[in-house]
Amino acid sequence: MAKVKLTDAEQVTAHIAQLPKDLQSAVMYLRNVMLSLDQNIAEHIKWNSPAFYYRGEMKDFDPKEYKRDIMVMNLRKDKLMCVLPTGAVIQKHREILEGNYTDGRRMIYFKDLADIKEKELQLRKAIQEWLSLIEK
């Protein structure tokens, strides 16, 4: 019998279902926030974690620049680390971003669901700024 290929969203849902219960609610909440920001934000599994990317029109670029990637979750027992591969472009709403990596990535750390809710407005503003900077 042929194996059914799951959609990207189904793969993310299946991945989340395998997480510890306390982490599932935080990841689901963050997932819903990200997907609610713009119709061109899509999700998939990247580097064995839920990730979000821009699926709309963009100018051509070198794939090694990761310009489509918005955020990749790095799930740990004690925190939820979110990697923004091109987060350095965010200037106005960068108070939520951590790190000063020369490759342009920035991090956002969340302790739990309550911490995500506390930082949600900052996250929304930072991602909306990122979206406004896309070269179309």
Model confidence band, residue 92 (pLDDT cutoffs 50, 70, 90):
very high
8 A C-beta contact, residue 19 and residue 73 = no
Domain ranges within the chain, ordered by starting residue: 8-132
Query: Quick one: pLDDT at residue 22?
Result: 84
The arrangement of strands across the sheet holding 106-110 comes to 41-46, 49-54, 69-75, 80-84, 106-110
**Domain 8-132 belongs to what topology?**
Aspartate Aminotransferase, domain 1 (3.90.1150)
Model confidence band, residue 101 (pLDDT cutoffs 50, 70, 90):
very high
User: What is the percent of the chain where pLDDT is above 70?
Assistant: 94
8 A C-beta contact, residue 59 and residue 77 = no
Per the document, the length of the chain is 136
pLDDT digits (tens, 9 = 90+) for 34-81: 999 999 999 999 999 999 999 988 777 776 666 789 999 998 777 899
Q: Which residues on adjacent β-strands are paired with residue 62?
A: none
Residue 136 has pLDDT above 70, yes or no: no
Structure tokens at 18: 């395998």
